Homo-oligomer: A and B are copies of this chain.
Amino acid sequence: MSDFLGHNYIGGARSAAGSQTLRSYDASTGEPLPYAFSQATEAEVDAAAQAAASAYPAFRGLTASRRAEFLEAIAEQLEALDEQFVALVSRETALPTARIQGERGRTSGQMRLFAQVLRRGDFYGARIDRALPDRTPLPRVDLRQYRIGVGPVAVFGASNFPLAFSTAGGDTAAALAAGCPVVFKAHSGHMATAERVADAIIRAAEQTGMPKGVFNMIYGAGVGEALVKHPAIQAVGFTGSLKGGRALCDMAAARPQPIPVFAEMSSINPVLVLPEALRLRGATIASELLASVVQGCGQFCTNPGLVIGMRSDQFSAFVEQLSALMAEQPGQTMLNAGTLASYTRGVEALHAHPQVSHLAGREQQGRQAQPQLFKADSRLLLEGDPLLQEEVFGPTTVLVEVADAAELQRALHGLHGQLTATLIAEAADSQAHGELLPLLEQKVGRVLFNGYPTGVEVCDAMVHGGPYPATSDARGTSVGSLAIERFLRPVCYQNCPDHLLPEPLKDANPLGINRLVDGKQQREAISQ
């Protein structure tokens, strides 16, 4: 493995003006790795934001197909990262090789999806209302609308997806697709990985002739504040803790010019197991649910942290099956020492709560996370106890038994916003509990049927978002092609001569895109 420079990426060059350096760690042993990363100084944060601002006019001025070429070049560079790279990511995160390989594919696939979106052109949201010179009492002028990138975007990656939600992850892909240069704050949990990925992005930018400063990356603890407060930054993408995300939101809102923050934060992803489904396939559900809870050491935003069932013999049997399975689960290494410490505290809080009982799981100790199963009194949900609303990041889930359908309704009413909710239900269940669906829809970004929330497909229809505190803005998604909309804003042209109009709005429709013309969707060219 070659060495790491460890310098910040600013305007196409590397910079290490500060004296403070940071270390990356072997996640399995806790030993520091022999690489040093230079904490960005205040001047470097400023320079990175300025570099992005300088790149913005040129970058947003490129055609969408040129930006698509850039994203595809990044995809190729990511795919070209070799097995040494995979080993490095695995070393920094303790995630297994197959998972890293899969995540690399997901990350490059994400870039390619946004390239498709750019070529399809519907992200422009082109709308044309032609002039009506003879309208009475007043003629109508010619009005044409499309969408442009908002400006430089600051992105904060997540620890748990060192590729797909990090340096070249979904937020970066969406921002670049929108025509917004990026300043990425490298995650302290995988700085060497971040350097390799940033190099890949920079190679792709050079290959495709992108403006310098289209992608910048800074290292450091606490540099995020200066970045979010920088006047050049126009939006923020974040994946991480509720505390961290909310802090960024508060900073962004208090700026002289407030900016939007799209923070994906905390979700306990309730799973409702309904009676008929339990009767027909309780044991299967128990083993599938268990697999979802412990998958990747429970380190997923969509990990099922709350399982709700109605009092019945079937549910009691299901609880026993799940307990037996959980008791057999081995410990797993977490992403880093901080994550393990946080998991340990979360498990301790559940143990300490008088209305929560521990059903299964080995004692939490040592360097690994032990999967745990708890059961909480339904009053905790009904009374809105904060403990049940807080995500315990790791392989733990809490069962709640409600008395009946009415109590289930009340319990769901008390839930905070979630990324997902899952119904494990047969047709008879759905018929008997038709009131659940609209209620769940009000609480979440994604409603699943007879599946488990820990797989997030990257596609047009995905919503990885939801009401607060799942995210800071329920109107966005951080996975899937709709994510680009967070970084776009509409602009309208009035009576603009055709040759001066942006391509998506010209009469001839040279891009061949779908447009809303006088209230009708069409691809045809128009005449005046």
Contact = CB atoms under 8 A, between A and B. Distances in A.
Interface of A: 57, 61, 102, 116, 120, 122, 125, 127-129, 137-138, 140-141, 143-145, 148, 150-151, 249-250, 253-254, 257-258, 260, 417, 427, 430, 437-439, 441-442, 444-451, 455, 457, 459-463, 465, 467-469, 472-475, 477, 482, 488-497, 500, 514, 516, 519, 521
Closest 5 CB pairs of A and B: A253-B253, A463-B492, A143-B461, A145-B461, A448-B494
Nearest to A469: B257
A427 B143 CA distance: 19
Contacts of A151: 442
Contacts of A461: 127-129, 143-145, 492, 516
A445 B475 contact: no
The prevalent SS among residues of A at the interface is mixed
Given A129-B459, A438-B57, A438-B61, A141 B451 contact: yes
A488 B451 CA distance: 26
A489 to B, nearest CB: 4
5 contacts: A253-B253, A430-B500, A444-B491, A449-B500, A460-B519
A447 B455 CA distance: 44
A475 B488 contact: yes
Given A127-B461, A446-B493, A447-B496, 9 more contacts: A116-B519, A122-B521, A141-B457, A143-B457, A145-B461, A257-B469, A449-B494, A449-B496, A475-B490
A488 B137 CA distance: 34
Contacts of A144: 461
Contacts of A447: 491-494, 496
Contacts of A514: 521
Given A140-B459, A457-B129, A491-B441, A120 B446 contact: no
B145 A468 contact: no
A438 B10 CA distance: 25
Nearest to A488: B475
Contacts of A148: 441
A455 B254 CA distance: 33
A489 B472 CA distance: 12
Given A451-B494, A496-B447, A145 B462 contact: yes
A151 to B, nearest CB: 8
A124 to B, nearest CB: 12
A122 B122 CA distance: 12
B463 A491 contact: yes
Given A473-B260, A482-B127, A495-B448, A490 B465 contact: yes
Contacts of A445: 489-492
Contacts of A493: 446-447, 449
Nearest to A144: B461
